[in-house]
Structure 1
Amino acid sequence: MPLNQVPNQAELIPTEKEPEAVSAVEAGSLEELRELYKDCMRCPLGSGRNKLVFGHGISKTPLMFIGEGPGADEDAQGEPFVGRAGKLLTKMIHSIGIDREDVYITNVVKCRPPGNRNPEPVEVASCMRILENQLKLVSPKLIVTLGNVPTRALLPDIQGITKVRGKPVQYKQWTMLPTFHPSYLLRNRTAMPLAWKDFRMIASMAFETAE
């Protein structure tokens, strides 16, 4: 099926074999992968987007952040985490001595869900092939999932974010650490101390060197 054709819901259900999936070998870089999917219309979100929000950062880094999906600011600029939540995320990254430009940041879905709602399961499923290829190309030491949506996109049977945040888990060959989404922290300031604790752990897990 061409990337600019919208499939029905049944076609979006993940299967063990996806013959149309673009492999990381075929896409030799993140830029090549972005180019392959720039006109993607595999789910209804594509028809309502202003810009596809692919990801931002360096191609090889120990640390990769995964959010839910673009908001209005991200949809307008084509970059992830540039609104209020993005400014908070940048501040938290800087607070642990890391430059935002030295990590890779993306979302589960690359197009903005209307009304800033959570992505539907079929929308997540249609974008998972892109995310999997991003993971292979970036090859991070640590994946940080921000909130329930990306955490459950990778590990569907995991508990809610309040139960699993700050607890390292394994996703395929990668270590994954779930934590709160910055938009949640903007609404729930009492959770900030827990988030700061998670970020201190993130710094040591992603950038510590073996002695």
Structure 2
Amino acid sequence: MTADPTYRGFALDAQTALALLQWQAELGADEPCLDDPLDRYDLPDRIASVPATAAPAPPPAPRDEARDLVALAEQSASAAGTLAALAAAQEAFEPIELKKGARNFCFADGRAGARVMVIGEAPGEEEDLQGRPFVGRAGQLLDRMFGAIGLARDAADAEKAIYITNVLPWRPPGNRRPEAAEIALMLPFLRRHVELAQPEIIVLMGNTPCIAALNRQGILKLRGGWTEAFGLSALPMTHPAYLLRTPLAKREAWADLLSIAARLDAGPRP
């Protein structure tokens, strides 16, 4: 572009003209005008006349970040060949924000290879401190419940043992309920956890495990009804924390425990 040597009747030297040009650029005038006017309304017709092969490619579709993270979790979980490797992979999984506010990673407790695998919701305060699931008041009640049918987390015999984990291995802030995105992100690890633990029966303790394993909720309606989760027999039960708040519900929980005992007696592990 050639600078106009005059400006409103005043002669301009090169330095002044350059300063004015820079000033206009700072105001947003980033290209010079043409000598002939351009009818911008003609542009659609001109574009339409360009051959189809010359049309620009459409922009790529936006990526679904949540789906990408779940795929990354599935890749990490499926690569684990042992429970120890799975625990290491899940503990090292960075994309979940939940872990940043937790004290400890709570993977599992009890005896791997047990016929019964209990799946809870998430660690509470005491579990977060100790790094083990179900060790607070609810966990103590859980031990008494399964002890009543001859099962224990510390049993040396797999036939008499239980294996315990949670959907989320980190405590949610303020013991809030896990969010749907958090459940979805941890589900690949939970699924692989079940595959490696190889239980015969799964006990779904509360709504969150039912959401994760069955895509259903409403534990008071689901409890006591045998179903299938991760390809195995599964029984939803009310969480021990609910039983502590609602002692009258212990009668139904006892019926569920008897149902588990009967299922174990009727179908021993091959």
The amino acid across from 1:128 in the alignment is: L
Q: In structure 2, what is the Cα distance between the partners aligned to 1:69 and 1:19? A: 22
Work out whether residues 213 and 230 of structure 2, in 8 Å CA contact, stay in contact via their aligned partners in 1: no
Partner of residue 111 from structure 1, selected from 170, 178, 182: 170
Residues 134 and 154 of structure 1, relative CA distance in 2, 3 Å threshold: same
Does structure 1 residue 191 correspond to structure 2 residue 256? no
Work out whether residues 78 and 192 of structure 2, in 8 Å CA contact, stay in contact via their aligned partners in 1: no
Q: Which residue of 2 aligns with 1:153?
A: 212
How many equivalent pairs are there?
200
Q: Cα distance, 1:103 vs. partner?
A: 1.3
Q: In structure 2, what is the Cα distance between the partners aligned to 1:205 and 1:12? A: 39
Q: Which residue of 2 aligns with 1:45?
A: 98
Work out whether residues 24 and 136 of structure 1, in 8 Å CA contact, stay in contact via their aligned partners in 2: no
Work out whether residues 50 and 76 of structure 1, in 8 Å CA contact, stay in contact via their aligned partners in 2: yes
The amino acid across from 1:126 in the alignment is: L
Q: Cα distance, 1:206 vs. partner?
A: 3.4
Instruction: String of CA shifts for 1:40-90, please: whole Å, max 9, x gaps.
Output: 332221110100111112221211000000001000100000000000001
Pairwise mapping of residues 46-85 of structure 1 onto structure 2 (< 5 A)?
46-85=99-138
Q: Cα distance, 1:131 vs. partner?
A: 0.4
SS in 2 for 1:66: strand
Q: Cα distance, 1:173 vs. partner?
A: 1.5
Pairwise mapping of residues 1-211 of structure 1 onto structure 2 (< 5 A)?
11-13=65-67, 18=71, 20-22=73-75, 26-101=79-154, 102-156=161-215, 158-209=216-267
**Percent of aligned pairs sharing the same letter:** 40
Instruction: String of CA shifts for 1:110-156, please: whole Å, max 9, x gaps.
Output: 10011111101111111111101101001211110001111111111
Q: In structure 2, what is the Cα distance between the partners aligned to 1:183 and 1:20? A: 30
Residues 25 and 40 of structure 1, relative CA distance in 2, 3 Å threshold: closer
- Which structure has greater helix proportion? 2
The amino acid across from 1:127 in the alignment is: M
Name structure 1 gaps, 5 residues minimum: 1-9
Work out whether residues 118 and 203 of structure 2, in 8 Å CA contact, stay in contact via their aligned partners in 1: yes
Work out whether residues 53 and 80 of structure 1, in 8 Å CA contact, stay in contact via their aligned partners in 2: yes
SS in 1 for 2:133: coil
Q: In structure 2, what is the Cα distance between the partners aligned to 1:133 and 1:172? A: 9
The amino acid across from 2:167 in the alignment is: V
Work out whether residues 41 and 47 of structure 1, in 8 Å CA contact, stay in contact via their aligned partners in 2: no
Q: Which structure is richer in relative contact order (CA contacts within 8 A, separation 6 or more)?
A: 1
Q: In structure 2, what is the Cα distance between the partners aligned to 1:207 and 1:33? A: 31
Residues 22 and 91 of structure 1, relative CA distance in 2, 3 Å threshold: farther
The amino acid across from 1:187 in the alignment is: R
The amino acid across from 2:65 in the alignment is: E
Q: Which residue of 2 aligns with 1:6?
A: none
If you compute each CA radius of gyration, which structure gives the higher value, 1 or 2?
Answer: 2
Work out whether residues 68 and 150 of structure 1, in 8 Å CA contact, stay in contact via their aligned partners in 2: yes
The amino acid across from 2:236 in the alignment is: P
